[in-house]
Structure 1
Amino acid sequence: MEIISSKNILPENFVHAAKDNITESQELPNGLRIESGAVGFGQTAVRFTTPFSTAPTVVMGITGFDLDHGANLRLGCGPMTNSVTRDGFTATLGTWANTGVYSASAFWMAIGK
């Protein structure tokens, strides 16, 4: 197999955001607020910059990974069950069985009032 490119195509701040759990918040005209950020591999306690009035809806998605090709590739992410409160949640990005991980990152977004 030939390497097509060894150039890093991810923005420099993307890697730092995943490592540092940087968040961004935005108010919408309809009274909703969106807060988002990035997390790295494992479990991460995420605290919202300002608490929501009730527990928001939280969605997550995988944004990058480097997995060992010698085993089955398994990677999942999401908020821990029953962990979402008005103040924050526990983000999980992980594997199972014999999957080997060099690095992985995920994006999260909370939407609520």
Structure 2
Amino acid sequence: MIEVSAVFVSLAVVTVFISAVLLSSAGAKSLRTRHITEQMTTLGVPPSMMTFLIGAQIAGAAGVIAGLRWGPVGIAAAVGLTLYFTGATALHLRVGDRRGALPAVVLTMTSVALIVLSAATL
């Protein structure tokens, strides 16, 4: 019987959570709903960056999922997500959107947790 550590189970749960959030957000961005386009305009994100942001979110989700099998890939993806969400936090705070910054802060901390959990499973 294969023994699964509590750390790996925690890693898997956090991975599923952040992947679901990333894919949901990428889907919303790809639909370019009024809410999303207004938010991006307020943050000063040009429409030409939307494809990049969608790709980064999908790549991040794929990377952390792949990291469940190969830890270094998961760590690299989690570092990228930490930078992504730190940037998102900064953009929200720059325009005074503290309410919008909160989810970005939570996702930044979640990405850091992924780095720690992934490193602990190596």
For Structure 1 versus Structure 2, the TM-score category normalised by the shorter chain is under 0.3
Structure richer in helix, relative to its length: 2
Structure richer in strand, relative to its length: 1
TM-score (norm 2): 0.25
TM-score (norm 1): 0.26
